[in-house]
Structure 1
Amino acid sequence: MTENARTPIGAGAGAGAGADAGVGVAVVGAGVMGAAHAAVVAADPRARLVGVASVPDTAAREVARRHGAELATDDYRTLLRRTDVDLVIVATPDHLHTPIAVEAALAGKAILVEKPLATSLADADEVIAAVERSGVAAMTSFNHRWIPSYAQAKAAIEAGRIGRPRMAYARKNDRIHVPTRMLSWAADTTPAWFLSSHDIDLVCWFFGEDRAVEVYATAVRGVLDGHGVHTPDAIQAQVRFASGAVATFESCWTYPDTYPTMTDSFVEVVGEHGVVHLDRKDDQVEVATPTEFEYPRISIMPVLHGVPAGALAHAVGHMVGCVADGTPPLVSLAESRRVTAILAAVHESVAGGGPVPVAS
């Protein structure tokens, strides 16, 4: 798998309309994340939001209107045919990423895919093959790498301050609002695909060259089945690494809606002679009103003085810069494939009830 720098926009005879108007961006998907991506692109002076696609196109029309895109459509291929589109952001439900990402890459567009890259190893390999065949820039939006506390933890671990990582624990748990009301497609994914994908990427990033080799996972069901959403309530997985290190990943999305934050997010890495402890539950902000107490989320998608900020904005801006300048993305496709391989083993273990090797 190659992660070479690409030809920058505007360099050479192959440059399109983006050479004069910045990086032309199309967003496929107009749900929560698609709308957030569109807002970031519209605010980036190096980029231009060309169009938005969704099925039906009702949401795409609203997102396009709000952020000044010239085109809204229910057919993403219309956007792929545009010569002024340089970058396609795939922000559809988890299980729908692959065909869009493959077609976009084969159309010569750089791609930024919401996490996870794909929900099977075969699909991940299909995306990677299309990217390598076309030579376009590609990245999965593991935006947590742009949260300052996680980046600082990575630097501390890489500098050897806690010694070699030997154990990790990570949880990401959501209110029940997410699978029952926010996501119409929750039954087509699981809390591990939707939530643990971020944490698995982070822990593997923290662990460096150490490779995941085996997974044992279990799932709990019942609460969401009672709501007519047929997917696990929670999944816990233990991952063993080649060095003997272990990591436990917890994902649950049945917290009560009275919980003071949408997502309870925690990561701990224990090294040979130190520990890194990251608790993002409250993001250091508390708000109390006569009717509720909450921890507003400020790390991922805050709006600062009317402009999108935070980790998502940094990740999208990074990818826009990669396309504009021809520099390689921070998150490689090999790393994205690794997350998919581990999660595929998690779900195989849940189904079979025993340990499962992680595919290489």
Structure 2
Amino acid sequence: MKRILVVGGGLIGIRHLAAVAAHPECHLVGLVDPDMSVAPQLNRFADMTQVTEQVDGVIIATPTGLHARHGVYAAERGWHMLIEKPVASDLAGAQDLSRAVEKAGVGSLVGHHRRYHRSAQQLKHLIAKGDIGTPVCANLIWAMRKPDEYFKGNWRTAGGSPVMINLVHDIDFLRFVVDDIVATTALRGTSLRGTARIESGAVSLAFANGATGTICFADTTPSPWGFEAATGENPNIGTTGQDMMWIIGTNGGVSFPSMTLWSGKDWSAPAQKTSLDVNANKKPPLDAQLDHFIEVMNGAQPLIDVTDATRTLATALAIEEQLSPQLKGVANG
């Protein structure tokens, strides 16, 4: 039995609490959250320093700006950790955390949970074994219209860029199935809600394996295209089942999540379509992630640790920075 502490009682923290409580190989030590009215039936702590019980692993689901500080403290206590994504709010914090984890010799896992979709792992394997030949291009769309209430009376009115809230997931997904991203160029779209907030844009990508790619994104457009809508993973977002990513190579291409494989030789004949059997999740990705966290605590190699997640963060921050000068220009104009 692994003794697990959850830090942060927000929407995702509550889901982690339920997963730990239901897991036959876990014992829930309790919840750390300054709001003591959250889950009062549990063993409650207002701060991590109050925890005197034995802890094997901690799940950190606090606001992103607190991830590095909480993770460093957990490492100093000798606790293995699962940290929600993004791993930190800036590179300095992520690098501090990486050093603390290495110094303490504890295991780290970062909650980029899309890697646990069996269809995502199927896609990664298909590309790696050369079913589409050498990857050449990857194109992804994330587009939906967030409700106006999402932005009213909170920090998102000015700072709710979909890059760090949403695109960070797609960036990590592309890194997982294609390769590391080594360069980006971003163009900002027009703001339609009357604020200076980033709402839409297009990003060009260069991968370490020589492939290139694009991401088109918007949070102002009702559309069927986006990971959540395509896979049905988020109960708050309507499911469409429409493909939202297309990867092409020297022998053909594949679309996701339908896992439709296309193959051919040259333009003299149409590409041939093969519909593959899509690997279905045996467990919700969050539960599969908890299974893997237990393995990491037992010494297994993490699917994505703090160092790897820092590369995802660096790409997202670079895109945000490339959009910011354009953003200031629009705001001043």
Q: Using structure 1 for the length normalisation, give the TM-score.
A: 0.72
In the alignment, what sits opposite 2:218? 252
Is residue 204 of structure 1 aligned with residue 171 of structure 2?
A: no
Aligned mate of 1:73, from 30, 36, 45: 45
Is residue 330 of structure 1 aligned with residue 303 of structure 2?
A: yes
- The offset of 1:182, in angstroms, is 10
Aligned mate of 1:132, from 80, 87, 102: 102
Aligned mate of 1:214, from 171, 177, 183: 183
Alpha-carbon distance between aligned partners in 2 of 1:340 and 1:253, rounded to the nearest angstrom = 20
CA contact (8 A) 1:140 1:333 kept: yes
In the alignment, what sits opposite 1:350? 323
Describe the superposition over 1:145-195 as per-residue Cα deviations: whole angstroms up to 9, x where unpaired: 111211110110111111122111223344414971799553555211121
Question: Matches of residues 22-41 of structure 1 in structure 2 within 5 Å?
Answer: 22-41=1-20
Question: Matches of residues 40-189 of structure 1 in structure 2 within 5 Å?
Answer: 40-61=19-40, 65=41, 69=42, 71-78=43-50, 81-177=51-147, 180=150, 186=156, 188-189=159-160
Is residue 232 of structure 1 aligned with residue 201 of structure 2?
A: no
Alignment coverage as a number of residue pairs: 293
Is residue 262 of structure 1 aligned with residue 237 of structure 2?
A: yes
In structure 2, the CA distance between the partners of 1:84 and 1:141, relative to structure 1 (3 Å rule), is same
Identity between Structure 1 and Structure 2 (%): 28
- The offset of 1:334, in angstroms, is 3.0
- The offset of 1:134, in angstroms, is 0.5
In structure 2, the CA distance between the partners of 1:121 and 1:240, relative to structure 1 (3 Å rule), is same
Alpha-carbon distance between aligned partners in 1 of 2:147 and 2:28, rounded to the nearest angstrom = 30
Q: Secondary structure at the match of 2:245?
A: strand
Instruction: List structure 1 segments (4+ residues) > 4 angstroms apart after TM superposition.
Output: 181-185, 223-226, 255-261
- The offset of 1:126, in angstroms, is 1.0
Is residue 191 of structure 1 aligned with residue 172 of structure 2?
A: no
In structure 2, the CA distance between the partners of 1:239 and 1:36, relative to structure 1 (3 Å rule), is same
In structure 2, the CA distance between the partners of 1:220 and 1:143, relative to structure 1 (3 Å rule), is same
In the alignment, what sits opposite 1:18? none
Q: Secondary structure at the match of 1:58?
A: coil
What is the alpha-carbon root mean square deviation over aligned residues?
3.1
In structure 2, the CA distance between the partners of 1:255 and 1:183, relative to structure 1 (3 Å rule), is farther
- Segments of structure 2 that go 5 or more residues without pairing to the other structure are 230-235, 259-279, 328-333
